[in-house]
């Protein structure tokens, strides 16, 4: 009987120890599981934070690039700062109104009065809804304005399909933009097949006239490349008619929802008429621009005031620039198609159809090479940006783990 009791007690001790160790292991496993979940959650939260931070920076850069594609850099910075100020002020006003409505009691009569007044309030006009009222008008002196127009653009629109025409113009104006940036010129706007830009804004430069002339020669070379392709395939001769004038302008921002940066002045109008009265494949400049250029180039009198009434009224003396010394000369006969061309707000041109003389600029080959490389890389830019984003996230996490 004593042996049986001792065996029972030992069995009870064994069972108790078993339950004790089992409970201890269960508690340990549970604690380990909670710790693992916490660590993994912290890791994922950290990764999400880093990813969102880098993504936010990437999207901010994209937003900056989008804004810069609409507005010049010096204007976009001011607009962005004013918009941020307006948003901050609006949030503060809403917060103040919310606190004041909770802090003060209103009678039923006052509530009905305000409700009636609110419902009968006149809707805000577009100008009242405008996010900012500043036009950012700036005056610039000693600048040079370049107007360029594609000659024989109308027959090109007839013979090319819509998608081919858009692709051709996109390539053409894209190369113009790259050349303008290389020669320190700011593109203002595209008006159909008209391209105009300014050198000397926002940062004044003493070489503003030379910058526009160099850009003009480069634009002629770019169009010459396109013309060789189109002439063989379609039998259409295209060229550039370029007018340049130096003077002063006003620049500013227009529009409420669709912002537009533009320039105004009598000198800008003169530059427009210089292009209209110019010769295909040549650069047409005024006496003011020639004075800035000095002896940089050779000049031919052109008497544009005999071809344009506005130039005659303002007594504008004009010249054609001869190709710079040391450059190759290629004499080509250019034929301007007899199409009537309607241009928005640009007037008419009485320029004759004459023999043009183009010149190749030594720098143009490098610029065109860079243009082709940039356009070839544009197709994979989105994929590369995503890969770079994920690579940055992984690098940040690897450093955090170490």
Q: What's phi and psi for 26, nearest 5 deg?
A: -65, -45
Bond from prior residue into 301 cis (ω within 30 degrees of 0)? no
3-class secondary-structure state, position 206: coil
State the Cα–Cα distance between residues 192 and 177, nearest whole angstrom: 15
Q: In this structure, how many other beta carbons lie within 10 angstroms of the beta carbon of residue 385?
A: 12
Report the b/e string of 153-181 with b at 16+ CB within 10 A: bbbbeeebeeeeeeebbebbbebbbbbbe
DSSP state of 315: T
State the Cα–Cα distance between residues 145 and 208, nearest whole angstrom: 9
Q: Which helix (H) or strand (E) holds 322?
A: strand 318-322
Q: In this structure, how many other beta carbons lie within 10 angstroms of the beta carbon of residue 65?
A: 9
* Cα 24–Cα 26–Cα 30 angle in degrees, nearest 5: 115
DSSP state of 123: P
CA-CA-CA-CA torsion sign (211, 217, 221, 224): positive
Beta strand 283-286 with 239-254 is parallel
Which residues are marked as active site?
149-150, 193
Q: What's phi and psi for 286, nearest 5 deg?
A: -95, 170
The HSE-up count of residue 379 (CA atoms within 13 Å, CB side) is: 4
Q: Which helix (H) or strand (E) holds 356?
A: strand 356-359
CB 302 within 8 A of CB 319: yes
Short-list 197, 220, 235, 209, CA closest to 291: 209
Could you tell me which residues come within 8 angstroms of residue 271 by beta carbon, excluding any fewer than 6 positions away? 145, 146, 147, 196, 243, 244, 245
């Amino acid at each position: 009987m004593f042996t049986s009791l001792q065996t029972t007690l030992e069995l009870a001790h064994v069972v108790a120890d078993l339950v004790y160790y089992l409970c201890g292991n269960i508690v340990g496993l549970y604690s380990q599981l909670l710790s693992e979940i916490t660590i993994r959650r912290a890791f994922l939260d950290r990764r999400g934070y880093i990813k969102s931070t880098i993504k936010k920076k990437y999207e901010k850069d994209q937003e900056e690039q989008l804004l810069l594609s609409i507005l010049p850099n010096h204007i976009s910075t001011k607009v962005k700062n004013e918009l941020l100020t307006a948003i901050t002020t609006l949030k503060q006003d809403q917060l103040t109104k919310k606190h004041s409505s909770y802090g003060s009691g209103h009678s039923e009569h006052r509530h009905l009065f305000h409700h009636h007044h609110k419902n009968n309030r006149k809707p805000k006009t577009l100008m009242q809804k405008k996010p900012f009222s500043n036009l950012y008008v700036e005056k610039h002196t000693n600048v040079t304005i370049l107007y360029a127009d594609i000659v024989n653009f109308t027959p090109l629109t007839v013979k090319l399909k819509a998608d081919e025409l858009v692709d051709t113009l996109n390539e053409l104006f894209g190369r113009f933009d790259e050349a303008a940036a290389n020669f320190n010129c700011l593109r203002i706007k595209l008006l159909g097949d008209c391209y105009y830009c300014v050198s000397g804004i926002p940062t004044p430069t003493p070489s503003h006239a030379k910058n526009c002339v160099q850009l003009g020669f480069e634009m002629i070379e770019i169009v010459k490349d396109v013309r060789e392709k189109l002439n063989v395939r379609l039998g259409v001769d295209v060229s550039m008619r370029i007018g340049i004038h130096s003077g002063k302008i006003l620049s500013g921002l227009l529009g409420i929802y669709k912002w537009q940066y533009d320039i105004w002045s009598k000198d800008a109008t003169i530059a427009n008429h210089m292009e209209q009265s110019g010769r295909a494949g040549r650069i047409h400049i005024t006496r003011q621009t020639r004075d800035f250029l000095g002896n940089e180039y050779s000049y031919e009198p052109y008497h544009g005031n005999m071809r344009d009434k506005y130039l005659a009224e303002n007594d504008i003396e004009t010249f054609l620039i001869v190709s710079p010394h040391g450059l190759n000369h290629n004499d080509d006969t250019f034929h301007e198609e007899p199409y009537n061309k309607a241009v928005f707000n640009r007037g008419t041109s009485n320029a004759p159809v004459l023999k043009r003389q183009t010149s190749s600029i030594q720098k143009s080959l490098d610029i065109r090479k860079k243009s082709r490389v940039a356009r070839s890389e544009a197709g994979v830019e989105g994929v590369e940006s995503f890969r770079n984003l994920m690579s940055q996230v992984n690098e940040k996490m690897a450093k955090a783990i170490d």
